[in-house]
Structures are given as structure tokens and as C-alpha cells.
Amino acid sequence: MAARGPDYFESGAVSAVTTGLPGTGLFDEVHTVGGTPAAQSTVKRNGDYSLRVAKNNAGASYVLRVLGGTTGVERVAVRFATLPSTDLDRFMGMGITAGNSLRIGYIASSNKLEVHFANGTKVAASSTVTAGAWHVIELNLNVGADPRTADWRVDGVDQTAASSAEAASTLASVWWGSVNPGDVFTANYDDVLVSTTPADYPLGDGKVLALRPNSSTGTSVFSNDDGTPVNATSHTRLDDNPMVSTTDNVYQNAISGTSTSSSASRTRPRPASTECRRRWPITAPAPRRPPTRRRASSTDPARASCTAATWSPHRSPTAARSPPPRPSGPRAP
């Protein structure tokens, strides 16, 4: 199961990633011309937060994550504070590298959700939407063949599938909100789970919760933000809600084949080790060394250990690499 997205909204912050800086944002794009998407704590289905999009007619208001492969499986719970007074062409969907994207919309005359490919026939759900209630939408989009198809469910009930006769392509993104100025609505999104494995459909109902540590023990490869060793109270530096504080944290101070950064500093990324930070920048060439010390060569093991690793607040030390390539073609919903 290649699932992603458990902490999209539970972090309590809606921001876009800064290229080359791991941990700076959970979304690849955040668009605010038609309203600013925000984490909301007062209206949520589970956990601490949901995503709220209050969309006006001034322009785009949505958040987006890059997605690859030919199959997109998604579960999301959606709540409309009040039912839209006009049709919505889209309030969520998936972008496709070439051809028509998949859109989930709303039909005001019947109070029903609908699914369609851009410029295609709208397929209405069998049930109606209730204002103030959460409705669980599940999608299974396959764009790897002609025709591309979209199976979907609402509140656990299978709906009539949509299809589009066009050449095979690949997925580009998954998004919540709308780029269309004519779509005016206020919606909350929660309990999102996304997969690229066809067998995962249907994902079924579920909840997404934030995990915060409630205890800690000493370890030599992690340190408190003030440089002191990890101790019995270090976990209190990682219990921020929302998870955006840089006041205190725990960081990884050395590379270890057995250590992980599962809970270490969601709030303050650190380089692979303090030794690397002191001796050489991660990607810069070695500085001039004092004549009394051996000059580092390209095969110097110490330098190699520094240039061969980076650290992310969400994963173990990994081989240094550039940001992942984005799918070619249009990504806008």
C-alpha cells in the first residue's frame, strides 16, 4: 500500500513546501486568490484539525499535492457548512499530465454530488448531500488505458462510474478546493488518505489522528535544541499543537544506521550531523583547511559521510538528492 497524506491537515498548518528545504510545507501548492485555505480546529471530523476552504468568485482557492503513476485511490470526508446555491464544477479532484482531469462537483438542483472528466458527462450520485454533515467520498482513478475510468463511492455506497475516451496518461496531482472563479462554497475536508495502488480501493472509512510522544529516553544520536542530551522530559519539546513552533525541538546530531527520525523535530529541520555542519556545508566544496591538518580529498571518508546524507524531519538520513522531478504537463486542476 503506497499511502500518503496522514498529516496533511493534522499539523494545524497549511503551507507550501519550499523547494530544496525538507519539512517546510506539507503541500506542493497553496492558492489563495479566491480565499485562503486554512486548518480549522472548531470544525473537524476526527483529530485536531480539518482543512477549510471558503471559496469566493475572485479566483482560485485550493491546496495541491503532486501525484505520479497511472492510478489514484483516495478517501476524503467532506462537509458543506451550507449547501451551495449554484452548481460547482469542482471542489476536489485529480490532475492528469495530458488530457482531461477528474473533477468532483455538485448539482444544486438535486443536492447531489457528481463526478466527471473535464468537458465530459457529469455522473450524479444516488444520494443527496446534507448541510453540516460529513460525507465520505472514495475514488479510484485509472488513466493508464483508453478509456480512462473513475470508480467512486459515497458514504460506502458504490456509484455509477465515469469514463473518458482518450489516450493513456499519468497522474499529476491531487487537490482540494477549486481553480474555477464560478465555484463559490465553504467546505471542510478531513481524514484524507491517498494511494497509488489499485488494490487499495476502496480504502473504507477511517480517521487520521496526530501522534505526539508522551515519554522519551536518552539516545546519543539525538539532542535537545539547546544541545543537551535527550532525557526524560525531551518529549515535551515535540508536543506542539499546532506543529509549527520553532521554540523548542529535538534534532538528530549524528548519522546512524539504526536510528530514525520518526518523532524528531517536525518543527526545526537540522543537517545530517553537527560535525557536518561545522566542517563542511552539505552541498558546498570543502573549505580551505589549516596547513597543520590533512586536506580533505574527494575520497575522504569523513567528508563523504557528510556529502552523502541529508536529514529530513519526517524520515531517516537518506542519500543526498535533488527535489523529486515534477510530472510534465499541466498540473492545475
Residue-wise pLDDT tens digits, 243-278: 777 788 888 888 766 554 433 333 333 333 333 333
Residue 51 Cα distances to 31, 77, 79, 277, angstroms: 13, 10, 10, 37
Show pLDDT as tens, one digit a residue, over the chain (333 residues): 445 554 568 888 888 887 656 556 789 999 999 999 999 999 999 999 999 999 999 999 999 999 999 999 999 999 999 999 999 999 999 999 999 999 999 999 999 999 999 989 999 999 999 999 999 999 999 999 999 999 999 999 999 999 999 999 999 999 999 999 999 999 999 999 999 999 999 999 999 988 888 898 877 888 999 999 999 998 898 888 887 777 888 888 887 665 544 333 333 333 333 333 333 333 333 444 444 444 444 334 333 333 333 333 333 333 334 444 444 444 556
Contact 307, 48 (CB under 8 A): no
Nearest of 13, 76, 62 to residue 33 by alpha carbon: 62
Q: Where are the alpha helices (DSSP H) in the chain?
A: 274-279, 301-307
Given 3-state DSSP classes, what are the helix, strand and coil percentages for the chain, each rounded to the nearest 5?
A: 5, 35, 60
Residues whose CB falls within 8 Å of the CB of residue 116, separated by 6 or more in sequence, listed in order: 102, 103, 105, 122, 123, 162
Q: State the residue for C-alpha cell 458543506.
A: 80
> Domains in the chain, ordered, with CATH?
3-200 (2.60.120.200), 227-333 (no CATH)
- Residue 104 is predicted with a pLDDT of 98
Q: Is 127 helix (H, G, I), strand (E, B) or coil?
A: strand
Residue 323: how many other CB atoms lie within 10 Å: 12
User: Which residues lie across from 148 on neighbouring strands?
Assistant: 164
Contact 306, 70 (CB under 8 A): no
**Is the whole-model pTM more than 0.85?**
no
**The three three-digit cell numbers of residue 105, written as one number:** 462537483
Any idea how long the chain is?
Answer: 333
* Rounded CA separation 78/88 (Å): 14
Residues of the chain with pLDDT > 70, as a percent, come to 72
**The three three-digit cell numbers of residue 294, written as one number:** 590533512
DSSP state of 18: B
- Residue 118 is predicted with a pLDDT of 96
DSSP state of 274: H
**The three three-digit cell numbers of residue 159, written as one number:** 456509484
DSSP string over 167-179: ----EEEEEEEES
- Residue 253 is predicted with a pLDDT of 86
Per-residue pLDDT reduced to its tens digit, 265-318: 333 333 333 333 333 333 333 444 444 444 444 334 333 333 333 333 333 333
**Measured on CA atoms in the order 64, 153, 34, 246, is the torsion positive or negative?**
negative
Contact 222, 251 (CB under 8 A): yes
- Residue 258 is predicted with a pLDDT of 59
- Residue 332 is predicted with a pLDDT of 54
